[in-house]
Structure 1
Amino acid sequence: MIKSINQWCFKSDTPLEQVMAVSGDAGYGAVELNLYEPGGIGFTMDTTAAEAEKIGQLARQHGLQLRSLSTSLLWQYPLSSADDAVREQGRRVVSKQMEIAELLGIDTVLVVPGSVTAETSYDACYERSHREIRILAEEAEKRGVRIGIENVWNRFLLSPLEMARYVDDVGSPNVGVYFDVGNILLYGFPQQWIRILGQRIFKIHVKDFLTAVGNGNGFVPLLAGNVPWHEVRTALQEIGYTDTITAELGIYEANPLQLIYDTARHMDIIFGGEAR
């Protein structure tokens, strides 16, 4: 498995050079960057091919791979929206992710498919987002890029059986799951999800969570929560997963960069199986 860290683990104003330098120094093998609105640090909706190539070169200079690309823009432009214009902008976001991914050899883009809200019913979220994913799957196949559907706190795809069906019904080998271990703990068991989803899993996110808190304040550093890490590691081994394990955690207030180093060590303990 390849130890990886998401750009969100750094303060939002951290220069990309520092993100890469610290990640390399901490021992990561990959960094997961994010797609932002114009003006963001790193990849944005107006990033040119030349600018993307420079970012790829910067990662290589620090011995880091770029293997996945995330974004938070789909919360603003959900593929489940009743507004055609909003869904169209959501497609543009994913298309831009895939454009950059194809250019730099990034194999997977993370996609939050939609959200169930008071205005968007569960069945409408399923139907609209699934229709959009089927459209995007065609582009993914042409570009040789994979779409990883992530499980997040969006009141949607709340069981591994439904997640598997959602992905399978797209009918494309380029659509699978970006599984977040910590996000599932409030209403499921990550090791069960991993075994049921199996080869559908393209990428893995890790964070930890205190179930007794039961809300967003329950997310904590790795090894500080209730994720059954031994069982998670065993399940990943059983399905033959060898790709990136990407940490996505809240930032330390007192010493933000220390999170990067602490998390690297925690991942060594979790996935290396030894405490030193």
Structure 2
Amino acid sequence: MHTACLERRNDMILPSTFIFKGGIEGETSMEHIIDVLKKSNINFFEAGFTQSGAISMESTPASLENVLKLLKQNKMKIMAMSTTLLSGQEFWTLSGTLNMQVVQIVKKMIDVASFLEIPYISMHCSDEKNMQFVGYKEAVQNEMNFFTALSDYAQKRDVIICLENSISGILCYPNDVLSFIEKINSPALKVCLDTGNSIYSGMPERWISCLKDRIQIVHFSDVKIRRLRGIITEFVEPGKGLIDFQKVYKQLMDHGFAGWVVLESFGRANQDDQEVVATLLDRFQYIK
């Protein structure tokens, strides 16, 4: 994974570029991200894959070469990549064929990850709408065919796809994800656990005890429950919601976790990026 020449500080922590002001739209420059992280003594991070920007659908070999050069000059490395571009996308058409826009997004992510020597990308499966057209069994089989092909594509490029749990989807529960991954049986398909998403299907502890060392990436996201009998929830900055992250971290370590913890939040217009990063790192300083 080309990390031998880098000193690994804050061993498991990857700040996400989504926490930066404008990060979710790709409006934050790589120079600014690197400058902020270096001041916080961080040299590994997760990149958000966006529609436009330094690491995006618009990236070219020439622009990526500039990013790679900048990273190496600053002894920085991107260890994982995630995206919001698949949110709300229909993976399948009414006739049961793949949405080619989804295919283009994922393959572009894999290609960019391979170019930048990023070992992991995370993505979720399709949502439950697909079952309205073809039924559960066929929807799962369609998804299995899709991820088998993607895993083959990724493996040839030295990239690992981490299947991320989502709030709603055809694979909502940890046992379903475990069975799905075991049937595909590819070294290029692992798991990304999103702690905030997991509360809708059993809390993080249930996912960890089931999937164990298949979890390579953990997104530390958080959820706050509002009134109306706990039905209304909102995602908040990690550490400001209901999830006990120290408990989650201990359970991960008890199961031999050796992957990366991503601090996932979304930047606000008036924030001070340096202060946000410093606050998050201080909050999770027990992660070593």
TM-score bracket for this pair, using the shorter chain length? 0.7 to 0.9
| Gapped regions of structure 2 (runs ≥ 5) | 1-10
Say whether residues 1:71 and 2:83 are aligned partners.
Answer: yes
Following TM superposition, by how much is the alpha carbon of 1:174 offset from its aligned partner in structure 2, in angstroms? 0.9
Match of 2:3 in 1: none
Opposite residue 186 of structure 1, the aligned amino acid is Y
Following TM superposition, by how much is the alpha carbon of 1:72 offset from its aligned partner in structure 2, in angstroms? 2.0
Task: Give distance in 2, aligned partners of 1:216 and 1:19.
Answer: 34
Following TM superposition, by how much is the alpha carbon of 1:212 offset from its aligned partner in structure 2, in angstroms? 4.5
Opposite residue 223 of structure 1, the aligned amino acid is G
Query: Deviations 1:169-223 (Å, cap 9, x if unpaired)?
Result: 1121111111112221233121221121012112111112224465785222222
Q: How many pairs were matched up? A: 269
Could you tell me the percent identity over the aligned residues? 21
Match of 1:95 in 2: 107
Superposed counterparts of 1:1-276, under 5 Å: 1-12=11-22, 13-37=27-51, 40-75=52-87, 77-82=89-94, 87-117=99-129, 119=132, 122-212=136-226, 218-252=234-268, 254-257=270-273, 258-269=275-286, 271-272=287-288
Say if 1:114 and 1:81 are closer, same or farther in 2 by CA, change over 3 A.
Answer: farther
Say if 1:236 and 1:197 are closer, same or farther in 2 by CA, change over 3 A.
Answer: same
SS of 2:45's equivalent in the other structure is strand
The alignment's TM-score, normalised by the length of structure 1, stands at 0.86
The alignment's TM-score, normalised by the length of structure 2, stands at 0.83
Task: Give distance in 2, aligned partners of 1:36 and 1:86.
Answer: 21
Say if 1:46 and 1:185 are closer, same or farther in 2 by CA, change over 3 A.
Answer: same
SS of 1:94's equivalent in the other structure is helix
Q: Could you say which structure has the greater relative contact order, defined with CA pairs below 8 angstroms and 6 or more residues apart?
A: 2
Following TM superposition, by how much is the alpha carbon of 1:73 offset from its aligned partner in structure 2, in angstroms? 2.2
Task: Give distance in 1, aligned partners of 2:93 and 2:44.
Answer: 33
> Pairwise CA RMSD of aligned residues?
2.4
